[in-house]
Structure 1
Amino acid sequence: MGCGEFLVKYILFFANLFFALAGLTLLVLGVVVQLRITDLSNLADGQVQIAPISSMVVGGIVFLIAFFGCCGAIRESNCMLVTYAIFMLILMVVKIALATVIFVSLDSLLGQIPDWLTQSFKTDQQAFHALENTFRCCGPTGAGSYMDLVLPNSCCDTPPCVPLVNAYSGCDTIVKEFLRTFGLIIGIIAIAVGAIQLVAAVFALCLANHARNKYRRSTY
């Protein structure tokens, strides 16, 4: 093996270690956010679950394919490398599509948060208190939403909760900021990994071509 093929082989191997870690990051982020927005998803008819579930699915698939790529690079298997390159190109398209959907629909989703929270506050305060405990917030717009001097215990760290003393901020702002941050992080990671996957696919095809040529030479 020449110096160029050697470099391509080990660059591809370590790149796939990065992909595996990136896939685990997407998976863990999706799980963490999914656990945290369980109460919110009940109020929003499950719409806010699209991003974390997509993150978990894509992250898990990336991790498995990256492991496949590591094996293909070390063994210099033409079949495994070509298959890996095809999967990389497909995943690159999926990630760019995921990032595009997130960036395009994020503002629209965030714009609906106040309506969801206000409706829940009026119709199911028990569910809203669970949301307050999760996000450490108080009322849709703050303590003033309760129009009372004494607030529920979910509105502060240490009861009794009193407006302007120890009450949390409104849930509108906190929930929107949480979802905005999560959406941007997932979108940026997806685009960055997708770009690197394109390079990995090219490297995999180069190494596959080298493995194929080496096999042909060995049979002559």
Structure 2
Amino acid sequence: MDTHPTTFYTGVYILIGAGALMMVVGFLGCCGAIQESPCMLGLFFAFLLLIFAIEIAAGIWGFSNKDKVVTEVEEFYKETYKNYISTKQPALKETLKAFQHGLKCCGIIGALDPLVKETCPETDDIIATVTMPTCPAAINDVFNSKLHIIGGVGICIAVIMVLYDSLYLLQLGSFPYKSFPQ
């Protein structure tokens, strides 16, 4: 039985691919501006338009698959939790720690869960310990409460990309026309 969260990994692969594409785009933009090469700047412009289209598609995909991603991340946490309880592998312990410290949550039943107490974030306040949310609830809360922030960041990036495209067109218009030697 395959228990890997494929939708979650799809998002990770998209981010890795976007990062690689951004490196290529940055290189073309810098070299094209330094050398005043219309060809390189044209490729820069084309890649920026491609990245803009990918961002719009990723936003639509993320919004339409949000519930599926949340469910798969929760299931991934629960599966990691169960595997850690049965095997006590150090790698699984570190994965649980990363989830629990990042989300400030503890286990499947809360901070009083004796099975994963050593991976939970430490607090000095007994009330904070007792009221610490379960990790599946924290995962759900992060995805549902932070969606507007993610959308705002996406809109800001889109505005910056439109600004880059506009600046490219201005830059292209300032180059002297270079014809091929005859």
The TM-score by the shorter chain falls in which range?
0.5 to 0.7
Report the identity percentage.
21
One-letter code aligned to 1:72 = G
1:63 equivalenced with 2:23 (yes/no): yes
RMSD value, Cα: 3.7
1:133 equivalenced with 2:97 (yes/no): yes
Question: Measured at CA, do residues 72 and 155 of structure 1 come closer, stay the same or move farther in structure 2, by a change above 3 Å?
Answer: closer
- When normalised by structure 2's length, the TM-score is 0.66
1:45 equivalenced with 2:5 (yes/no): yes
SS of equivalent to 1:70: helix
Structure 2 stretches lacking a partner, 5+ long: none
What is the aligned length? 168
One-letter code aligned to 2:156 = A
Residues 163-211 of structure 1, C-alpha deviation per residue, up to 9 Å, x if partnerless?
Answer: 9784653111233345567876665444432332233224323432442
Query: Deviation at 1:77?
Result: 1.4
Report which structure shows greater RCO (CA 8 Å, sep ≥6): 1
Structure 1 stretches lacking a partner, 5+ long: 1-41
Instruction: Determine if contact 2:97/2:119 at 8 Å carries over to the other structure.
Output: yes
Cα distance in structure 2, aligned partners of 1:141 and 1:113? 17
Residues 75-133 of structure 1, C-alpha deviation per residue, up to 9 Å, x if partnerless?
Answer: 32111111211111111111111122122212332144445544555565247655432
Question: Measured at CA, do residues 70 and 180 of structure 1 come closer, stay the same or move farther in structure 2, by a change above 3 Å?
Answer: farther
Instruction: Determine if contact 1:103/1:187 at 8 Å carries over to the other structure.
Output: no
Equivalence for 1:208: 172
Equivalence for 1:54: 14
Cα distance in structure 1, aligned partners of 2:128 and 2:45? 59
Question: Larger helix proportion, structure 1 or 2?
Answer: 1
1:93 equivalenced with 2:53 (yes/no): yes
Equivalent of 1:170 in 134, 158, 166? 134
SS of equivalent to 1:214: coil
Cα distance in structure 1, aligned partners of 2:6 and 2:157? 27
One-letter code aligned to 1:101 = W
- When normalised by structure 1's length, the TM-score is 0.57
Question: Measured at CA, do residues 157 and 45 of structure 1 come closer, stay the same or move farther in structure 2, by a change above 3 Å?
Answer: closer
Query: Deviation at 1:61?
Result: 1.6
